[in-house]
Amino acid sequence: MCIRDSLLYMRIGKRLTEQSILNEPNDIFFLHRDEIKQAINGNPKVNQKTIQHRRSEFHRYENITPPKFLDGDREYNDPIPPTAQTYYGLPASQGVLTGTVRVLNSITEITEVRAGEILVVPRTDPGWTPVFSKIGGLITETGGVLSHGAVVSREYGVPAVTNISNACRIFQTGQVITINGATGSVHLDE
């Protein structure tokens, strides 16, 4: 969805809120197209209970990485298994750095980051951009070479490795690691 579409939906959401069809304009994003059309035509088929259910589903799965492949009802990924103390992801921004880990699960914790630390997060979005001038490296649980974290890391010259499943559980704040943004490897230094 482009910005223009988002603004259009927000206007529609505002009007539907003024008509007491929605509780707040952002509820529009939890409706299907046909439900939006019905609401615009004055015949809403969805209620607040449905919207709240969809919102809670969204928040429940927001930070969970989906499997790369599905085979029937079996989910699987094809990560390179770790060898000894080395983990592999996707190389996203070149450079090698040995530094201290800072694991954050939410942008609200961003003030804890210290200069030169290797930031380990589920994913980044534009709200994280200011911290890139401070960090020494980046590891994300999701993403690829075109993900937000990868692109901004390259702009700031910060080594980055993306797509290390469960990185926020594997690595711990205070650990010393070596990140290689050219090979996609992260080695635990003991």
Active centre residues (catalytic): 148
Distance CA 6, CA 138 (A): 30
Buried b or exposed e, range 101-134, using 16+ CB within 10 angstroms: bbbbeeeeebeebeeebbbbbbbbeeebeebbee
**Contact yes or no for 117/100 (Cβ under 8 A):** yes
Rg of the chain over Cα atoms, rounded to whole angstroms, equals 20
Q: Which amino acid belongs to residue 157?
A: G
Q: Who contacts 133 (Cβ-Cβ below 8 Å, separation ≥6)?
A: 156
Residues in the chain: 190
